Chain A
C-alpha cells in the first residue's frame, strides 16, 4: 500500500461510504455497561442461591430455618415500594423538577435504610436469642452469606442514592437524568434480586 493512499485512507473511506445511508445510531454505552453488570451480578447471586438450595435441610445441628425465621413482610414492602419512589424521582429529574427529585430520592433512601434496619434487627435477634451465627451450621453459613450479599448491594445502592441526593441539594443534578436512570435501574435490580432471595430463603427454605 502506498503512503499516499494510507494518508488519504480515512478521507477516502468517508467518500466511498457517503452515499445515502440511514442515520447511524447505536445503543448508549452506559446502558450497555449496566446491563452487562447486571448479567454478571445475576450469575454471582445464582451461585449463592444454588449453594443455599443445595444445603437446605443438610445442617447437622439446629437451629433450623423453620424454628427461627419469620417472614420479613414489612422490610419487603419497604424495599419494593422504594422501586416506585425511585422511578418517580427519575421522572422528576427528567422533567427538571429538582425539588420533586430531592423529595422522592430522600424517600427512597429512607425506605432503603428501613429495610437495612429490619435486616439488622433480624440478625441480632437470630444471633442473641437463637445463637445462630455463620459458623453454627450450614443454615447459618448459607443464610448469612446470601442475605448479607444482598444487603451489601442495598448498602452500595444507598450510598449512590445518597450521593445523588447530596448533589441534588447542591444543585448539581440538573442534566444528569441519564446517569440517574442507570442508578435507578440498579435499584430495581437489587429489588428483583430480593424477590428471588425472599422466595428461596423465606418460602422454599422454611
Chain B
C-alpha cells in the first residue's frame, strides 16, 4: 500500500494527474456543499439563531472561493489532463513534470485556504477563516478593516492556485499545438479539445489581473502601499475593475469545459455527428473574445458614466449570440437523432434547459436599470447558481458518467445514475427557482437572517428543503462510485459506441496510451475504423 501511495505522489502521468485533480475537486465540492447546506439551514426560518453572523460571513466566503477556485478550476484541469492527450493521439502532455507541479501547487493552495480555520487570525481570534466574500471588495480587505491574517490566507491561496492553473493552461496549449498525432489537423480535432484550447488561452489573459490585484493588495496590507486605499487617493473601484476583468472571463473559463463535455456527449447519444461544427468552434472563440470586454456589468451599481453603462449592457447581451448559436448546435444535433437516454445524456439535456434559463436571466441582468433593482439580491445568486450548478455541474456529472468507464474500466450503475439525476433536478429547481422570486421581492444576498413578514419565509423554506434532495442526489453519486469501483460491470473499451480516439484505447488506458501512435483522416477516427464501408474521410 505505501508503494501504491508513493506511485500516486510522484506520478507525472497525465491520466493519474487528471484523476487526482478530479478527485480533489470532488472532495472540495463535498466540503463546499456542506458549507452551503449550513447556510440554507440558517436561512430556512426567519430570525434563526443556528449560526452567528460572523460564522455566516466565513461560510459564504469559503463556499464561493472553494467552488470557483478549488472545484471548477481543477475540474477543468482534470478533464483537460485526462482527455486531451488521449483524444489527440498523444502519449502524455507536452510537459509532464510541469503538470505534476501544477497539481501539487494547486492542492497546496487549497489546503492553505482551509488551514485558516485552524491557524488564521481574525475577528474571532485564533482559527478565523476569511470572511470578506469571494470577490473581497476593497477597502474591506485593507488592513484597517480586516485585521489579522485570515484575509492573507485567502490572497495567498488564490495566488498559488492561480500559478497551478496557469501552468496547466500553458501545458494544455503546448500539448494541443505540438503533440497531435499524424493527420489530426485543427479542422479534425474533437470539439472537446478545441474548447479546451480556447479555455486555456483565456486563462493566460484572465488570471494575471487577479494575480496582480492580489499582489497589490498584499503590498497595501504589508508594506503600506495605497493601491486601494481611498484615504491616500487610491481607488477602491480599481479593485473591482481588476477583479472583474478576471472574474467575468472566469465565468466562461468555468463554463466552457462544461460545453466541451456536452459537445462530446450529445452527438454520441444522439447517434449523429455534431451539427454545425465550424459554427460551434467559431462561437466558442467569439465567446472567449467577447467575455473579456464585459466585466463592468458586475459593477453597474457602482455608478459609472451613462456611456459605460450602455457599452457594457450591449456587450454583455452580445455574448448571448454565440451562446445561442451553441444551444442551436446542440439542439440541431439532437434533432432527428436516435437519442439514447443514458445518464450522461440526461444530464446534458438537463443542462440545455437550465442553461437556457440561466442565459435569459443573464440578459435581464445585463440591462443596467434592471440590474440596479436586483443587484446583490438573491436574483443574482439564483442566476449564477443556474449557470454554475444548473449548467456547469450538470455537464460535469454527465462527463463523470461518460468517462468513468474509460478511467476505471467499470460502468457506473444506470439505476443509481437516474436517481442521482432526478433527485438533483428536483432539488436544484426547488432551491434556485424560488430564490429568483426572493430576490425580486428584495431579499439581499449575504444576510445571515431576516425578519418575518416580507414574503420571503415560504420561498426560503422551499429553497432549504431543495438542499435535502440535492444532497440525496450527490449521495447516490458517491454510493455509485464506491459500488462501481468494487463490483461494477466491466466497461470494455468502448461502452458507448463513440467516435473519438480515447475509446480506441483499453479501459483504463495503458501507461503509454497507444502502442502505436494512431493516424487519423477525419474528425471521427473511430467511426472510420468501425465503418470501413462508409468512412467520414470520404466526405472531407
Show the binding face of A for B, using Cβ within 8 Å: 1, 3, 5-6, 9-14, 16-18, 21, 24, 26-30, 32-33, 36-37, 39-41, 43-44, 46-48, 51, 54-55, 58-60, 134-135, 137-138, 140-142, 145
Partner of A26, one of B177, B515, B525: B177
Kindly list the 4 A-B residue pairs having the minimum CB-CB distance in the complex, ordered from nearest. Answer: A135-B224, A17-B519, A47-B212, A9-B504
Partner of B519, one of A13, A27, A36, A145: A13
Q: Are B226 and A1 in contact (CB under 8 A)?
A: no
Q: Are A14 and B519 in contact (CB under 8 A)?
A: yes
Instruction: State the main secondary structure of chain A at its contact with B.
Output: helix
- With contacts A10-B514, A16-B528, A134-B219 taken as known, whether A44 is within 8 angstroms of B208 at the C-beta atoms is yes
Q: Are A18 and B179 in contact (CB under 8 A)?
A: no
Known: A13-B529, A40-B166. A48 touches B212 (CB 8 A): yes
Contact A39 B223 (CB under 8 A): no
Tell me which of A16, A29, A47 contacts B94 (CB under 8 A).
Answer: A29
Could you tell me if B205 and A16 are in contact, using CB atoms closer than 8 angstroms? no
Residues in A whose Cβ lies below 8 Å from that of B216: 51, 145
8 contacts between A and B (CB under 8 A): A1-B493, A1-B530, A9-B504, A21-B519, A54-B238, A55-B233, A135-B223, A135-B225
User: Is there contact, CB below 8 Å, between B174 and A145?
Assistant: no
Query: Which residues from A are CB-within-8-Å of B521?
Result: 16-17
Instruction: Collect the chain A residues with CB atoms within 8 Å of residue B215's CB.
Output: 145
A33 contacts B225, CB within 8 Å?
Answer: no
Q: Does B147 contact A (CB under 8 A)?
A: no
**CA gap between A27 and B209 in the complex, in Å:** 29
Complex alpha-carbon distance, A109 and B174, angstroms: 30
- Asked if B211 CB lies within 8 Å of chain A CBs, one says yes
Contact A141 B225 (CB under 8 A): yes
**Do B204 and A39 have beta carbons less than 8 Å apart?**
yes
A39 touches B205 (CB 8 A): yes
Residue in chain A with minimal CB distance to B207: A40
Of B183, B233, B245, B504, the contact of A24 (CB 8 Å cutoff): B183
Contact of A137 among B207, B219, B226 (CB under 8 A): B226
Task: Report yes or no: B219 in contact with A141, Cβ–Cβ below 8 A.
Answer: yes
A134 to B521, CA, bound (A): 60
Tell which of A18, A39, A43, A55 has the most Cβ of chain B within 10 Å: A43
User: Nearest B residue to A144 by beta-carbon distance?
Assistant: B225
Given contacts A17-B182, A27-B178, A40-B208, are A47 and B514 in contact (CB under 8 A)? no
* Contacts known (A17-B519, A135-B226, A145-B219); A47 close to B209, Cβ less than 8 A: yes
User: Which secondary structure characterizes the binding site on chain B?
Assistant: helix
Q: A16-B528, A43-B205 are in contact. Are A137 and B520 (CB under 8 A)?
A: no
Partner of A29, one of B179, B203, B205: B179
Q: Are B238 and A51 in contact (CB under 8 A)?
A: yes
Given contacts A5-B529, A10-B516, 13 further A-B contacts (CB under 8 A): A1-B493, A6-B506, A17-B182, A17-B520, A29-B174, A32-B178, A39-B201, A40-B207, A44-B211, A47-B212, A51-B227, A134-B224, A145-B216
* Nearest CB of B to A65, in Å: 15
Instruction: Tell whether, in the assembled complex, residue B173 and residue A138 are in contact, meaning their CB atoms are under 8 Å apart.
Output: no
- The smallest C-beta distance from B374 to any residue of chain A, in angstroms, reads 30
Q: Does B95 reach chain A (CB closer than 8 Å)?
A: yes
The CA-CA distance from A39 to B208 in the complex, in Å, is 10
Q: Which residues of B contact A9 (CB under 8 A)?
A: 493, 504-505, 518, 526, 529
Q: With both chains docked as a complex, state the minimum distance between the C-beta of A171 and any C-beta of chain B, in angstroms.
A: 25
Give the residues in chain B near A3, CB-CB below 8 Å: 492-493
Q: B516, A47: Cβ atoms under 8 Å?
A: no
A138 to B516, Cβ gap below 8 A?
no
* In contact, B529 and A16 (Cβ under 8 angstroms): yes
Residues of B within 8 A of A36 (CB): 169-170, 173-174, 204
**Residue of A18, A27, A54, A141 touching B226 (CB-CB under 8 A):** A141
Give Cα A9–Cα B501 distance, bound, in whole angstroms. 9
CB distance from B540 to the nearest CB of A (A): 12
- What are the residues of chain B within 8 A of A32 when measuring CB–CB? 94, 173-174, 177-178
CA gap between A44 and B514 in the complex, in Å = 39
Contact of A43 among B208, B232, B514 (CB under 8 A): B208
Residues of chain B lying within 8 A (CB to CB) of residue A51: 212, 216, 227, 238
Q: Give A135 to B519 CA distance when docked, in angstroms.
A: 60
Given contacts A17-B183, A29-B179, contact A138 B233 (CB under 8 A): yes
What does the 1/0 interface line of B176-188 toward A look like (CB < 8 Å)? 0111101100000
Q: Report A-chain residues with C-beta under 8 Å of the C-beta of B497.
A: 1
CB proximity of B85 to chain A, nearest CB, Å: 12
